[in-house]
Amino acid sequence: MTILELALPTPLRRLFDYLPPDGLTPEHLAALKPGQRIRVPFGKREALGILVKVKTESDVPTGQLKAALAVLDGETAAVSPEIHALCRWAADYYHHPLGEVFTASLPRHLRLGKPRQPGAIKAWRLTPRGLGLPPGALPRSPRQAQALAALQKEDAVSTDHLQAAGISAAVLRSLADKGLAERCQLAPARYTPVCHPGLELNPDQAAAMKGILSPGGGFACHLLEGVTGSGKTEVYLQLIADCLALGQQALVLVPEIGLGPQTLARFRARFDAEIVVLHSALAEGQRYRDWEAAAAGRAHIVIGTRSAVFTPLARPGLIVVDEEHDGSYKQQDGFRYSARDVAVKRAQLAACPVVLGSATPSLESLHNAIEGRYHHHRLPRRAGSAELPRINALDVRHQPLQASLSEALATRVEQTLDQGQQVLLFLNRRGFAPSLQCHDCGWLAECAACDARLTVHLRQRRLRCHHCEASRPLPSTCPECHGRQLLTSGVGTEQAETHLRQRFSGWPVYRVDSDSMRGRDAMETLAEEINRGEPCILLGTQMLTKGHHFPAVTLVAVLDADALLFSADFRGEERMAQLLTQVAGRAGRADLPGEVILQTHHPDHPALQAMLHQNYAEQARQLLAQRRQLGLPPCGQMVMLRTDAADGEAGEAFLQTLRRDFEAAPVPQCTLVGPLPSPLPRRQGRYRSQLLLLAQGRPAARAAAARLVALAEALPRKGGLNWSIDIDPTEG
């Protein structure tokens, strides 16, 4: 009796048994492989499942089992063995339904059940053992000797070619039985990559390189902590060169909007190789072809954002996670995973090294390095001779501010421009102003669906909610009292831009935020313009802190450092230190040292003082000590259960019951906090609550999360309630 155990894309955390499709021959049955896509009847519809395993018994009586409809994949399953193992681990670790994890790992083309188009040719190649044989080996079997000789001439030879040369499949199989040859796939355009020579490494870089390429190879996780401009990318490039030289593939993860064209250009200049870049703006067909190229081993280097961590590789040799601290590696809805953490697991499964690089490593990675789980390499100096910029606070109390700019700062901006240099102004708030109020009656412009104020976008003449899609025309009078005095408060980039253009009319002002930088090439074009080096003002949100270097910028100012100082999230200080260090790192080069000015009303705030007097590495270690004392991540583990419901009470009631059930048999080393309203208690018309679990130690967190999930699944859900679990959450 053959039974197929399948994972289906449903929210149910279980697998489903089916009988094989009718009419499958014994050979077909023998060829079934985990990872194949199988179409099945599911309720009144059809679904596409992934084969988890073939077994002989089911808990369901055979008579009740339905037959699958079709097996969609041939010899190469859509989910490769490596990705299969990775998805199973992820489903287990994140307590997410396996079917949805598989689905998330596949390109849309395959998710929709379309046939594989691998564009590959079946071929044979020698195994390492076969490669060790001298020419003229196997003299007692002339046919095998002939096959061996043919395979010795090339890396791999297509089966067609071999057959044309009179070498039969049976002969090749006997070589395979001896462990001398193996099947492989040959891509039409497969070629050997060429690496152009890199820079001569400085001693820090050389030491990091040597540490990462430790003899014996295999899995190891390396944290590469190097200040901005210290030459991390150069180290990645040289590691990749070594990886390609061994005939292996490299996977490079980058943050969203993090892959600057300058970086990509460096990759292309260094390697004469097939480089595929997987990002969300890619057309579906292209994305699928690139995925196949990676799976077949044609693509030598795969660069991509978060979900690229699930790209199958025929010969994985190295994984790099650049800017590993970046928030975009965490998926915040649906299948909530951290691509950085999945990357580490993946490297372990593939037995290859993984390098986590950052100027501002996450406390998680630092913790792992300090505890000895990760190797730690430091690049404390900028490559070449550029100095890191100085950081100063500018006390703006009692100072008149115009569009958030104090007179003292405006003067420094002017001097810098006069000297022919560039200025970068950081303001992490887009739009004209974050709120609008009636001066007569006090009416506030608020989103009808969220507990949030609407942002004024003056140029579009609209009010927009930054938490949902809601937007409406900017009123000219108060909708409550028809008063005409509508006042904005606070300053966004749009307002600052207008002011800067008036005040510094002789110089170009470039605004960089998600409103002004639409389209993939906008940022690229702008970066090129700016790096011509003419004096100008760059004004923008955190979009400015990613991916691009602006060597001609010598003055960086944070217009509202206070906005970063006060955060309800326990990660607030870590994020501030990362953000400011990253902004500061954009500036200055060898002959033009930079300066960073933080405008603040709280010059004595300890977090601000820390920014002035300590570098990131020192701050991070201090923050880590605090976390240890409080038992907070990464020194303790966190799990978050969230609900959202149309009804205001349903979520809290659900979580309250969950808490009571959990505490009926508590898991040791675990504390529950809540239920509490979420930081944004209502969003898109849905009320949100959360229950937080703090655990001391991974095993406790795992056990508690498993119990929470089991209990939550058993609870009735009222009022259209949804719940989700988030392991290692990064948002409150």
As annotated, the binding site for Zn(2+) includes 438, 441, 447, 450, 465, 468, 478, 481
**How many residues of this chain bind ligand ADP (CB under 6 A)?**
15
Residue 362 zone, left/alpha/beta (φ > 0; ψ -120 to 50; rest): beta
With CA atoms as reference, report the closest residue to 545 among 561, 558, 535. 558
Interface with ligand ADP, residue 405, by CB under 6 A: no
CA distances from 473 to 454, 506, 516 (A): 11, 33, 19
Query: Per rule CB under 6 A, is residue 545 in the interface with ligand ADP?
Result: no
Tell me whether residue 340 is exposed, middle or buried, using C-beta atoms within 10 angstroms of its C-beta: 0 to 12, 13 to 18, 19 or more. Answer: buried
Task: Report the residue from 54, 145, 201, 703 that binds ligand ADP according to the rule CB under 6 A.
Answer: 201
Residue 89 interface partner, choices Zn ion, ligand ADP, none, CB cut-off 5-8 Å depending on type: none
Check residue 330 and report its DSSP letter.
Answer: B
Binding ligand ADP by CB under 6 A: which of 230, 305, 545, 678? 230
Which uninterrupted H or E stretch holds 689?
Answer: strand 686-695
State the CB neighbour count (10 A cutoff) for residue 722.
13
Candidates 199, 441, 590, 673: give the one binding ligand ADP (CB under 6 A).
199
152 or 531: CB nearest ligand ADP:
531
Task: Name which of 239 and 538 has its Cβ closer to ligand ADP.
Answer: 239
Chosen residue from 228, 338, 690, 724 binding ligand ADP by CB under 6 A? 228
Distance (Å, whole) CA 539 – CA 516: 11
Nearer to ligand ADP, 40 or 239 (CB): 239
Could you say which of Zn ion, ligand ADP, none residue 438 binds, taking C-beta under 5 to 8 angstroms by partner kind? Zn ion
Q: How far is the CB of 674 from Zn ion (least distance, A)?
A: 24
Query: Candidates 311-319, 458-466, 626-634, 641-649 — which segment interacts with Zn ion by CB under 5 A?
Result: 458-466
Of 49, 231, 540, 729, the one binding ligand ADP (CB under 6 A) is 231
> Nearest to residue 54, comparing CAs of 310, 64, 98, 71?
71
Q: For ligand ADP, which is the closer residue by CB, 231 or 297?
A: 231
Task: Give, in degrees to the nearest 5, the angle at Cα 564 between 368 and 630.
Answer: 40
Q: Decide whether 206 or 481 has the Cβ nearer to Zn ion.
A: 481
Rounded to 5 degrees, what are φ and ψ at 361?
A: -60, 150
In the list 105, 158, 205, 406, the residue contacting ligand ADP (rule: CB under 6 A) is: 205
Binding to Zn ion by CB under 5 A, coded x per residue (else -) over 474-503, reads ----x-xx-x--------------------
Contact 300, 275 (CB under 8 A): yes
Cα gap 710→658, rounded to integer Å: 10
Q: Map the footprint of ligand ADP across residues 591-620, applying CB under 6 A.
A: none
Binding segment for ligand ADP (CB under 6 A), chosen from 110-118, 231-239, 424-432, 457-465, is 231-239
Q: Residue 145's CB: how many other CB atoms inside 10 A?
A: 17
CB of 367 to ligand ADP, least distance (A): 22
Q: What does DSSP assign to residue 141?
A: -
Considering beta carbons, is residue 11 or 442 the nearer one to Zn ion?
442
Beta strands in 121-219 (DSSP E): 121-126, 157-158, 181-186, 194-195
CA atoms within 13 A on the CB side of 413: 27
Out of 12, 29, 269, 441, name the contact with Zn ion by CB under 5 A.
441
Nearest to 349 by CA among 105, 86, 98: 86
Indicate whether 165 belongs to the interface with Zn ion (CB under 5 A). no
Footprint of Zn ion (CB under 5 A): 438, 440-441, 443, 447, 449-450, 465, 467-468, 470, 478, 480-481, 483
Footprint of ligand ADP (CB under 6 A): 199-202, 205, 226, 228-234, 383-384
